[in-house]
Structure 1
Amino acid sequence: MKKYCVLFVLVFCISCNSQKINHSKYAKTNFNAKTMKLIDGNWFDGKKFKERPVWLKNGLMYYKSIEEEVDTVIDLSGKYVIPPFAEAHNHNLESDYKLDERIAHYLNHGIFYVKLLSSIKKRIDPLMHNYNKPDGLDISMAHAPLTATDGHPIALRKKFLEYGHFDGLFNSIEEIEYHGYVIIDDSLDLENKWEKILSFSPNFIKINLLHSEEYAKRKKDTSFFGKKGLNPKLVPDLVKRAHASNLRVSAHVATAHDFHVGVNSNVDEIAHLPEIHNGNPIAMEDAVMAKTKDITVVTTISLVKKDKGKENYQELVENVAANLKILKEAGVTLAIGSDMYNDNSTEEFNFLHELDIFTNLELLTMWTEHATSTIFPNRKIGKLKDGYEGSFLVLDKNPLSDISNIYQRIVLRIKEGVILK
């Protein structure tokens, strides 16, 4: 009986500490889309494939025949239909440099949805006509991440300013605040700056935790410029404030302690696997708590490849694998995201596949349903369900049998009822 009481208290406390977020879902309609019927296709139901006809009307999918006359009939000839892939962590869509090429690379690989963990609104606003339309990428943006004085990403912003990347936008690092970072050093900052943060219309809030176990040590040490983050004591109130504004919170983390802080503060997402560059284990109890609170962890394990020149590289890879196994054992929701500016989630998927930790079904779910739901939690996408958006990929092989190089086996891409070129 005591075990049940403890469990009840745990769940009660978690629910009390969590502010309500709107969980209702909607589907984007596309009234310009053709009415289609797709026959002889094997459709993924989340666990297996099932042969059935499907109808598309106004960009939505249906499993029952519709009354309207069909414009197009597509014979899938026994091929396999899955939800689109997604990229749950990147920063590479706010520059117009080779943008068309970058977007095409995403779409050709079957990646329809991208989460930008930071972006400068002044830079990306003129490019928004490329996004969030039936034949383009759909993106979700945090805009400026929240950090401490001299914390990450201020050093990066300063470097890019000096390189001339912000010519015509900003003349000093101070001008970039609110656009490229927001300094939150205490509760007064949080109170005074919150409305201006909201004025940028972020889709979610990103907070930066970096070596929070050394917050006091790094706080005023100039040698840690750009290598520190928020005061961990501020994070619970920050999360509550974001949730009260109906905004989810994604936490950038570096260490196992950062992960602990984020999980115990009720963030919605951990934006990186912890300890990628440090090589330490994460605590199983924190992983279990992340599962209990339905917190998603974005993989970004490709970042470890930046350490290839180090003597301990293989040990770092082994630690990455060990921490992934801890999260898997705890049942944590994992979403595929790369944080690789010159790439997308394709190589992240390949690396995860090479580690041989997850089944084909798990990898498929991580790259489709999980990645999509952490980008657009309120949209009816990421699953092939009746009334959901008519967005999917058609493959010429069964990914549950062989998922290697699966993006190379795409023979048809449909987004919101539109056949992509």
Structure 2
Amino acid sequence: MKQLVFGLFLASLLISCKQNTEKQNLEPAQIKLTNGHWFNGNTFSEQTVWVKGGTLSFNQENAIADTIIDLSGTYVIPPFAEAHNHNLESEYGLEKRINAYLDAGVFYVKHLSSIKKRIDSLMYYYNKPTGLDVSLAHAPLTATGGHPIALRKRYLEYGYFDGLFNTLEEIESHGYFIMDDEAHLQKKWEQVLSFKPDFIKINLLYSEEYQKRKNDSAYFGKKGLDPDLVPAIVSKAHKSNLRVSVHVATAHDFHVAVTAGADEIAHLPEIHNGKPIDPEDAQLAAEKGIVVVTTASLVTKNKEKPKYNQLLANVRSNLGILKEARVTLAIGSDMYNDNSVGEFQFLHSLDLFSNLELLKMWCENSATTTLPYRKVGHLKEGYEASFLVLDVNPLEQIKEVSQSISLKVKQGVILD
């Protein structure tokens, strides 16, 4: 009965708030929320919380609220995030993808490469209280013939870039930057910055075979930067106050990125190869505060292969090595037709992480690596008033947590 009453109240509240926000140009009202259990990073505690000016306050006892919401013993957590995807650049089916994110409580998406000329016209969907917040790298850095040049070539041939580019050469410096040496880095860096990226994405693939693959056309699209150039790129980015996210394929790529001082590893290494990562590299990553984005469910693309069970076991083992070293893990899927919900469910199925660990990975770590300069990912004084209200305690029941959302608030605005 309590849930029914709460549901009826929310329905009327949403209508009221929608009318109010339309009149006030979506300016958040001052809201008082009572009888809710709020996540503090370790457990839940019953609190009265105020939302004012789009931020949270826990110390407004005498404040006058425009709206009072009785949360009736429900549970409040930060929103979820998607720390690795590429599916917000195309207008085709875009609103469906956006709604899938928001319906699941995913408010923040890290977009790990895009063509600025292509995504600019879609930016009105993003970075507003009623939409997704996105972080963009734009063109990634790679070597001649490296990833993602083969992908760009294929999409050009499919006609995806009609009206933007006519040749592959025209895509260079929009869909990727070729950086073969420090001379390239010095020459092209200002152009990289001119796109105003939120972070720098660089591609390492099979760096232990860099010399072997460098001039061999058989490896077109299956190679990346010179590993010796990575420290200079990281240094250059940090001097420009930009974090560096590194696409990796192998354990050696992981080693190169960690020792170079990158800020984020965009993939769990060895998903498709089945080799272990070095525990010493994992320990160094933890000491440097490097975030590793899981993308572990990509292993399911190998389901039809005879070695699938071995690959799956290796994914679990490598995640275990990172967990043991206390590396910060964030949830990202890199699944174009999905989002971090599927990745979360895959990680849950491995029976490797506790409910608390999974919750922190999805709410806290994924949000802070996506939007590191904003007050998101935590329910604290002065942080953005973005949160999800759940009918269940996720520390006890987390498997279908995205389906137990009864209220979504983003920057103080109640989402319909």
Q: Tell me the TM-score normalized by structure 2.
A: 0.93
Which ranges in structure 1 are unaligned for 5 or more consecutive residues? Answer: 1-29
Deviation at 1:362, TM superposition (A): 0.2
**Is 1:383 aligned to residue 395 of structure 2?**
no
- Asked if the contact 1:297–1:334 (Cα under 8 Å) also holds between the matched residues in 2, the reply is yes
Q: Which runs of 4+ in 1 moved over 4 A?
A: none
Structure-to-structure mapping, 1:17-32, within 5 angstroms? 32=27
State the partner residue of 2:30.
35
In the alignment, does 2:146 pair up with 1:151?
yes
Q: What is the alpha-carbon distance in structure 1 between the residues aligned to residue 33 and residue 379 of structure 2?
A: 13
Which AA in structure 1 matches 2:148?
P
The amino acid that maps onto 2:268 is L
Distance in 1 (alpha carbons) for counterparts of 2:344 and 2:152: 29
In structure 2, the residue matched to 1:195 is: 190
Is 1:419 the equivalent of 2:409?
no
CA distance in 2, matches of 1:415, 1:79: 18
Inter-partner Cα distance in structure 2 for 1:196 and 1:352 = 39
Find the residue that maps to 1:92 and give its secondary structure: coil
Residues 128-155 of structure 1: per-residue CA shift (max 9 Å, x gap): 0000001110000000000000000000
SS at match of 2:212: helix
C-alpha displacement of 1:67: 5.6
- Which of these residues, 360, 363, 367, is aligned with residue 368 of structure 1? 363
The Cα of 1:70 is off from its aligned counterpart by: 1.2
- Local SS of the residue matching 1:366: helix
Post-superposition CA distance 1:344-375 (Å, at most 9, x none):
00000000000000000000000010000101
Once the two structures are TM-superposed, the CA of residue 31 in structure 1 deviates from its matched residue by: 8.0
Which of 331, 335, 341 is the aligned partner of 2:336?
341
For residues 48-69 of structure 1, the C-alpha deviation after alignment (integer angstroms, 9 at most, x for no partner) is 0000100000111100116653
Q: 1:229 & 1:344 partners in 2: Cα distance?
A: 26
Partners of 1:31 and 1:58 within 8 A in 2 = no
Q: Which residue of structure 2 lines up, in the alignment, with residue 161 of structure 1?
A: 156
The answer for the alignment partner of 1:16 in structure 2 is: none
Q: Choose from 164, 173, 183 the match for 2:168.
A: 173
Q: Secondary structure at the match of 2:36?
A: strand
Q: Deviations over 1:88-125 (max 9, x none)?
A: 00000011111111111000000000000001101100
Matches within 5 A, 1:288-303: 288-303=283-298
Query: Please, which moves more after superposition, 67-76 or 331-340?
Result: 67-76
8 Å CA contact 2:247, 2:265 repeated in 1: yes
Letter in 1 for 2:111: L
Q: Which residue of 1 aligns with 2:125?
A: 130
Q: Please give the secondary structure, in 2, of the residue aligned with 1:51.
A: strand
Q: Specify the alignment match of 2:44 in structure 1.
A: 49
Is 1:327 the counterpart of 2:331 in the alignment? Answer: no
Cα distance per residue 1:291-344 (max 9 Å; x no partner): 010000000011111111110001000000000000000000000000000000
AA aligned to 1:269 is E
1:393 equivalent in alignment to 2:397:
no
**Aligned residue number for residue 105 of structure 2:** 110
Matched positions, count: 392
CA distance in 2 between partners of 1:100 and 1:338 (Å)? 19
Contact in 1 for aligned 2:26/2:413 (Cα 8 Å): no
Q: Distance in 2 between matches of 1:93 and 1:68?
A: 40
Aligned to 1:15: none
In the alignment, structure 1 residue 285 sits paired with structure 2 residue 277: no
Aligned to 1:90: 85
Q: Provide the residue aligned with 1:315 in structure 2.
A: 310
**What code does the residue aligned with 1:307 have?**
N
- Root-mean-square deviation (Å): 0.9
Per-residue CA deviation, residues 201-260 of structure 1 (Å, 9 max, x unaligned), is 000000000000000000000000000000000000110000000000000000000000
**1:71 Cα deviation from its structure 2 partner:** 1.1
Write the deviation string for residues 250-277 of structure 1: whole angstroms up to 9, x where unpaired.
0000000000000000000000000000
Residue 253 of structure 1, aligned match among 245, 248, 251: 248
Counterpart of 1:272 in structure 2 is 267
| SS class of match (1:343) | coil
- Is the Cα contact below 8 Å between 1:141 and 1:202 reproduced in 2? yes
8 A contact 1:147–1:229 mirrored in 2: yes
Does structure 1 retain, via aligned residues, the 8 Å contact 2:53–2:412? yes
Contact 2:291 2:330 in 1 (8 A): yes
User: What is the match of residue 6 of structure 2?
Assistant: none
Amino acid at match of 2:333: S
Over residues 165-188 of structure 1, what are the superposed CA-to-partner deviations in whole Å (9 max), with x where a residue is unaligned?
000000100111111100000110
Whichever residue aligns with residue 211 of structure 1, its letter is: Y
**Corresponding position of 1:353:** 348
Matches within 5 A, 1:163-242: 163-242=158-237
CA distance in 2, matches of 1:158, 1:370: 34
Identity, % of aligned positions: 65
Q: What residue identity is the alignment partner of 2:266?
A: A
**Aligned AA for 2:126?**
Y
What amino acid is the match of 1:33? P
> Structure 2: any 5+ residue segments left out of the alignment?
1-24
Aligned partners of 1:65 and 1:234: how far apart in 2?
A: 52
Determine whether 1:78 maps to 2:73.
yes
